[in-house]
Amino acid sequence: MPKVQTARGGKAPFEFVGTSEKLFGEDLEDFTGEIKIVGEVEDVGKSFVVRGRIECKKIFICDRCLAQAEKNQVHKFVEEFDKAEAIDDVIDVSEFLRDELLAAQPMKNLCREDCKGLCPECGANLNEGECGCEKFIFDPRLAALENFKLE
């Protein structure tokens, strides 16, 4: 569990590497493999400032094409801890980091920004090529032209 050793009046670096189970005591199945957390804690007088970044790999199902995908993520964090939270000059940051990682997740999970998704007709994954279905894209201007008949 990530606990940072503070340095009175100065800065102290920290680094944690491990699975979510090891780091947070909880198996976050989206994040398989190792999660790396690097940063530093600084004594700013009235409080301790903890800052750094979380590096991880997320495995997920693409919201658009439903294929399994993975993406490397880097999340920066900075947080102020009350000095009372440091017990024997050590701050437990496990819960903070876990919450930080989960809060940083995007609303949409796409295998890539321009994921073409699935064909609404046959369900084929359009990232793998055209399925051959006719795509009807409604365009009101074209519709107006079709209704226009020469007399």
Which C-beta is closer to Zn ion: that of 12 or that of 119?
119
> Rule CB under 5 A: is residue 115 a binding residue for Zn ion?
yes
Which C-beta is closer to Zn ion: that of 136 or that of 148?
136
* Angstrom distance (rounded) from CA 86 to CA 56: 27
> Rule CB under 5 A: is residue 104 a binding residue for Zn ion?
no
Tell me which of 12, 28, 49, 131 binds Zn ion, using CB under 5 A: 131
Cβ-Cβ contacts under 8 Å for 110 (sequence gap 6 or more): 62, 63, 64, 69
Give me 38's structure tokens.
Answer: 């690097």
> Where in 42-101 is the site for Zn ion (CB under 5 A)?
62, 64-65
Cβ-Cβ contacts under 8 Å for 126 (sequence gap 6 or more): 65, 116, 117, 118, 119
Minimum distance between the CB of residue 68 and Zn ion, rounded to whole angstroms? 10
Amino acid at 39: G
# chain residues binding Zn ion, by CB under 5 A: 11
Residues that bind Zn ion (CB under 5 A): 62, 64-65, 111, 115, 119, 121-122, 124, 131, 133
